[in-house]
Amino acid sequence: MYIYDEIDQRIVDDRVAQFRDQTSRFLAGSLSEDDFRPLRLQNGLYIQRFAPMLRVAIPYGLLASRQLRALAYIARKWDRGYAHFSTRQNIQYNWPKLEDVPDILEKLASVQMHAIQTSGNCIRNTTVDHFAGVAPDEIVDPLVWCEIIRQWSAFHPEFAFLPRKFKIAVSGAETDRAAIQVHDIGLQAQYDDKGNIGFRVYVGGGLGRTPIIGTVIREFLPWQHLLTYLDAVLRVYNRYGRRDNKYKARIKILVKETKPEVFRAQVEAEWAHLKDGPATLIEEEVERITKRFTRPAYQKLDKLASGYVLALGRDKAFASWARRNVQAHKVAGYAAVTLSLKKTGVAPGDMTDAQMEAVADLADRYSFGELRVSHEQNLILADVRQSDLFELWQQARELGLATPNIGLLTNIIACPGGDFCSLANAKSLPVADAITRRFDDLDYLYDIGELDLNISGCMNSCGHHHVGHIGVLGVDKQGAEFYQISIGGAQGNKAALGKVLGPSVSQAEVPGVVEKLIDLYIERRDSAEERFIDVVQRIGIEPFKEHVYGGHHKKPAGRGEQLAAA
Amino acid sequence: MAGIIKNRQVAANNWQLLKAGADKSLPAVPEGDVIVPLAQWLAQKDALLARKGRLGVWLANTDDPAVIAGDLNHFDLVAVDFPHFTDGRGSSIARLLRERYGWTGELRAIGDVIRDVVFYLSRCGFDAFDLKAGEDAKAALSAFGDFSEAYQTSVERPQPLFRRRAATAQAAAAK
Ligand code: SF4
């Protein structure tokens, strides 16, 4: 965890006071609704379908147990006893009262948290690999750089009112778990051949209405220049990004319309002025930030705990949980554990106050009092001793957080959709629920193997449907809620955008379509090792289309006509 | 005439802001101190320089400040217009004028300028604010104290917080 110093704290406290003042001026009528809207959005406060929604930042997904307890307290005191983890390492409250928000922010500030720039057309919360610092395939620990970016982006005076929202993601590992190629800026931390740290810079990636994979505009940016280079990119965007049409206002459109080479030249020209200026990073600062991060005091342990190995052999349910939800750790004898928030019957990412407190206890007991939030809307205990895994599993199971489905079909990513979000075309939560119920049989789920299924309630793509192996998108068809299914999307190093399968289908038909896709996959895979996405890439989408819609691409065939071939 | 904020105080506004007509025709230039649109400056340089009153120019959010980089010594004031306070282009224009083109005179924010953006704009180099109608200039003075610190480099304080921190740490170590 990064621990605030006096100035970090003061800045967050100042923000609370500022927002309290803005809220009271709004309630008193001296700040107009139109003027208040962009100001409250910069503090994560939306007015939603039923009530305001407050989005709280979990900077780069890191959370201390005391912070999670504060989040639980807020859920109980000012909301309806639960909150929702989003796909961007944020947590959202769906029922706070506007006049309570300043108090909520004050409570957050007391545990070094905030809602700064969690919405609005500004630089948003920076996201990172949820296994940062513990992944065995890590090259550079990205957390220090994330905090440097957090400080640079917080209340940046020049970039407070951009054409549109701006999201930065950082990865420091071989496998990209932060989806850096579909962010406005993606940073891949790496070493050059002399052992210096730097970043490969992607720009102009994004999902939404116009999904685009980012372009590399710099192969290696030495760390000293990180902030001046970001300033240069943002300045070009701030000056030339489109403001006439909100659907064309993201940086990806600017990069595309100006052509990536031209955009790169503009950035380089701007950077030539800023490079080596006062915003150039210095070693003292990197060291200072590094020191303000608390690090787990790992014990020296055997590579494999014998008790753990024995338990794996003894208990089949534990073994299957370990296979899906336990990830390797770079320190011998430790493991990272994913607590699944994707239990059948629960909206993906939702958590009650009691669960939060219980997880905070688990974090204290088993993982140095820290946890992570993943963009797949799960929680991670990143530093668990292998010898504690069995005990932890038993406790997680009692809490309903041990569904062994990480990486599997029912680990669905879904946005809040039409139940909560006023922008939605269609509901996403009932669809997730129906699919989860359809694939409730664990053996079947394991047989299907790795599969990402992502659902968004509209083109804004908060559920990342474009990069799901199977993507489901809510669309509006003459006022009725329909769903467009795509396949072949992927996140990570081999990021790809899914292709639309065919005409959209009704809510009731979605699970049947998914089932048909799975049927064909099982029929056509050459071994259990070949994943769904591999088969799609090998045989293309046509056979799937054929199978779902029949020869003439009309209505999808209903459930029951086709049973799993497995 | 309504007051403006200048150098963190309420001040009288002696300037007349001239705007092009709906058909883009350039306005007539009255006596006294005037702020003319960029197009007028570019079209009527000689006539404007031959006048008695003081001269200012204002840039629209889409104007490129590089265009007047070589003319700055002719002006007593430069203003930047915000058609809406959520249009951040004016902030980049201000920084460029200050940091790249070396403008040291009055830099005035005009248009849809509300109390709540004064802190940011001031860090971008504005030292004068002609707030939008209905805003109370006196009450808005408190905006300069919205935050007691800031991380980034800015026109007001080019050294970012991390360099100032490092300098303080060094000074403490030297004692
Ligand atoms: S994808 Fe659309 S419906 Fe879903 S949360 Fe985002 S804006 Fe709302």
Domain boundaries, chain A: 6-109, 127-290, 306-398, 413-565
The pLDDT of residue A416 = 83
Tell how far the Cα of A188 is from the centroid of ligand 1, in angstroms: 28
- What are B140-159's pLDDT values in tens digits? 999 999 999 999 999 999 99
- The mean per-residue pLDDT over the stretch B11-18 comes to 96
Q: Which residues contact ligand 1 via a Cβ below 6 A?
A: A 415-417, 421, 423-424, 456-458, 460-463
Query: Is pLDDT at A537 greater than 70 in this prediction?
Result: yes
Whether the CB of A28 is below 8 Å from some CB of chain B: the reply is: no
The pLDDT of residue A562 = 35
Closest residue in chain B to residue A151, using alpha carbons only: B151
- The mean per-residue pLDDT over the stretch B109-125 comes to 98
Tell how far the Cα of A497 is from the centroid of ligand 1, in angstroms: 18
Whether the CB of B172 is below 8 Å from some CB of chain A: the reply is: no
Q: Contact at 8 Å (CB) between A313 and A383? A: no
Closest residue in chain A to residue B89, using alpha carbons only: A239
The pLDDT of residue A563 = 34
The more confident residue out of A444 and A332 is A332
Distance from CA of A527 to the nearest CA of B (A): 55
- The mean per-residue pLDDT over the stretch B7-24 comes to 94
Distance from CA of A70 to the nearest CA of B (A): 25
Say how far apart CA A159 and CA A468 lie, in whole Å: 32
> Pseudo-torsion of CA B19, B25, B28, B33, nearest 10°?
30
Tell how far the Cα of A455 is from the centroid of ligand 1, in angstroms: 9
Closest to A548 measured CA to CA, from A507, A482, A504, A497: A504
The pLDDT of residue A547 = 93
CATH topology of domain B3-174: TIM Barrel (3.20.20)
- The mean per-residue pLDDT over the stretch A252-278 comes to 97
The pLDDT of residue A564 = 31
Helices assigned H by DSSP within A29-114:
33-41, 65-78, 101-109
Distances (CA, A) of A34 to A21, A41, A436, A497, B128: 16, 11, 42, 37, 24
Whether domain A6-109 has CATH 1.20.20.10: no
**Residues contacting residue A183 through CB under 8 Å, at least 6 positions apart:** A127, A167, A168, A169, A202, A205, A206, A214
Closest to A275 measured CA to CA, from A286, A287, A267: A267
Q: Contact at 8 Å (CB) between A489 and A467? A: yes
CATH topology of A306-398 equal to that of A413-565? no
Among B86, B114, B146, select the one facing A121 at the smallest CB separation: B86
Query: Is pLDDT at A485 greater than 50 in this prediction?
Result: yes
- The mean per-residue pLDDT over the stretch B91-109 comes to 98
- What are A357-415's pLDDT values in tens digits? 999 999 999 999 999 998 888 999 999 999 999 999 999 999 999 998 888 888 899 88
Class in CATH terms, A127-290? alpha beta
Whether the CB of B158 is below 8 Å from some CB of chain A: the reply is: yes
Query: Is pLDDT at B102 greater than 60 in this prediction?
Result: yes
Buried b (16+ CB within 10 A) or exposed e, A119-158: bbbbbbbbbbbbbbbbbeebebbbbbbbbbbbbbbbbbbb
Query: Is pLDDT at A216 greater than 60 in this prediction?
Result: yes
Class in CATH terms, A306-398? alpha beta
Tell how far the Cα of A458 is from the centroid of ligand 1, in angstroms: 5
CB atoms within 10 A of CB A441: 10
The pLDDT of residue A375 = 82
* Kind and range of the H or E run holding A12: helix A6-28
Whole-prediction pTM: 0.88
Q: Which two tokens stand for residue B149?
A: 């610190």
Query: Is pLDDT at A559 greater than 50 in this prediction?
Result: no
CATH topology of domain A413-565: Sulfite Reductase Hemoprotein; domain 1 (3.30.413)
Q: What is the average pLDDT score of chain A?
A: 92
Helices assigned H by DSSP within A219-371:
226-240, 251-258, 260-274, 283-292, 306-314, 316-325, 353-366
Please identify, by atom number, the ligand 1 atom nearest to the C-alpha of residue A463: 1
ipTM: 0.97
By three-state DSSP, how is residue A112 classified? coil
Say how far apart CA B71 and CA B68 lie, in whole Å: 5
Say how far apart CA B136 and CA A354 lie, in whole Å: 47
Query: Is pLDDT at A481 greater than 80 in this prediction?
Result: yes
Cβ of B149 and A121 within 8 Å? no
Among B146, B148, B154, select the one facing A10 at the smallest CB separation: B148
SS3 letters across A485-507:
EEECCECCCCCECCEECCCCEEH
Residue with tokens 């905070």: A360
Whether the CB of B163 is below 8 Å from some CB of chain A: the reply is: yes
The pLDDT of residue B149 = 97
- The mean per-residue pLDDT over the stretch B20-38 comes to 94
Whether the CB of B124 is below 8 Å from some CB of chain A: the reply is: yes
Closest to A493 measured CA to CA, from A186, A86, A264: A186
Burial of A7 (0-12, 13-18, 19+ CB in 10 A): middle
Please identify, by atom number, the ligand 1 atom nearest to the C-alpha of residue A426: 3
> Per-residue confidence at A258, pLDDT binned at 50, 70, 90?
very high
